[in-house]
Amino acid sequence: MRIVFVSMETPHWRDTPAVVRLHRLARALARLDHDVFVCCARWWDGEHQTFEQHGITYRAITDDRSLRAFATKLPFALRKLSPDVIHAINSPPAHVRAANATATFLRVPVVVDWWSDVDSDPVRGYRKAVSGCDRIVVPSRMVATMVREHGARESALDVIPEGINMDLIRETRPASDVDLVYSRRLDEHANVETFLLALAELRRRDWSAVVIGDGPNKDTAVQTAADLRIDDKVEFVGDLPIDERVAYMKGAHVFAQTAEFEPFATDLLWGLACGCVGIVEYQVGSSAHELVEGKSKLQGTRGRLVTSPQELADEVIATRSLERKQIDEAYEAYSYESVVDRYQSVYERARSNRGLF
């Protein structure tokens, strides 16, 4: 299959979750012998129009990240590439609209990967974007609700979660035992303070915790731990590569999730697959609860839902009656291979439906 991705930015520009998700998929499809192209802003040196890497052909639509110029030039590139499927990232929506218009001319389907809305994008642009595409892939039911509010048809939505590397989990040796782990970028949405407040309720008990992640709010979190007099029990280890994060998760008993914004709680998923008991504070702007309750959770999921630091502390105590594990094989359902298979099914369905018209 000839698949053309539309993403002005690549991980060479910015490694946002949406961009990384799309390009991880592109590399996986290339390994399966699909013809994979990425229409993007030029990120390589030199004047040549294309650049090949990891089996992917990158095609420069613009020399810089000019939104208007990219949307204007994109249709000409898509026509030359003659795709079987066009797969576009949802932001900026003007690029999706340009892809939709070209796809109508080429009679090929457009699949849009919708990680989340972006504050700087116009809502009107999203409404126009969803009206012209064939399928919309979202990482969670929460994001599906967000996209439906823009006018997307329920029948056009496919929920495909983030994937994990189960082989990596199986092969990684656990780090020294800790009781609790928190892992996320420490930005304005991290809400690590709730986690620390819960731990402060347990300061007289015997426990240890690790906070993985870096960001603008790290210093504040470290100071909060000191103010709560638990800094002797909480280790801030900074940002870590995934194999080191997995090692900490395999050595932990509880993964705490308190972030206020999470289109998909990827680190929580890794923690659950590493055998952790997931304790999730419900947040309106987070889909994390879907992994431990409701339709999205796996049977036998070891997870609890809470609404306050006190409840989180109570659940930490309750989890002590549960055995410690280092892997949960049920999460093979979230393996990268399974996720790629689901995307390929979406492509086939989109092509079949387009062929009916």
- pLDDT digits 0-9 by tens, 152-203: 999 999 999 999 999 999 999 998 889 999 999 999 999 999 999 999 999 9
> Looking at the predicted structure, is the pLDDT value of residue 356 above 80?
no
Same-domain pairing of 130 and 197? no
Same-domain pairing of 81 and 184? no
Q: How many CB atoms lie within 10 A of CB 214?
A: 15
CATH number at residue 290: 3.40.50.2000
Same-domain pairing of 38 and 151? yes
Give residue 357's pLDDT band: very low, low, confident or very high (50, 70, 90).
very low
Same-domain pairing of 184 and 157? no
> Looking at the predicted structure, is the pLDDT value of residue 221 above 70?
yes
Sequence length of the chain is 357
Same-domain pairing of 122 and 41? yes
Domain that holds residue 132: 2-163+336-354
Same-domain pairing of 170 and 312? yes
Report helix angle 242-251 to 266-273, nearest 10.
50
pLDDT of residue 295: 73
Close Cβ partners of 43 (under 8 Å, ≥ 6 residues apart):
10, 12, 13, 58
The total of structural domains in the chain comes to 2
The beta strands (E) that lie in 239-298 are given as: 254-257, 277-281
pLDDT of residue 169: 98
Give residue 355's pLDDT band: very low, low, confident or very high (50, 70, 90).
low
Q: What is the mean pLDDT of the chain?
A: 95
Same-domain pairing of 330 and 342? no
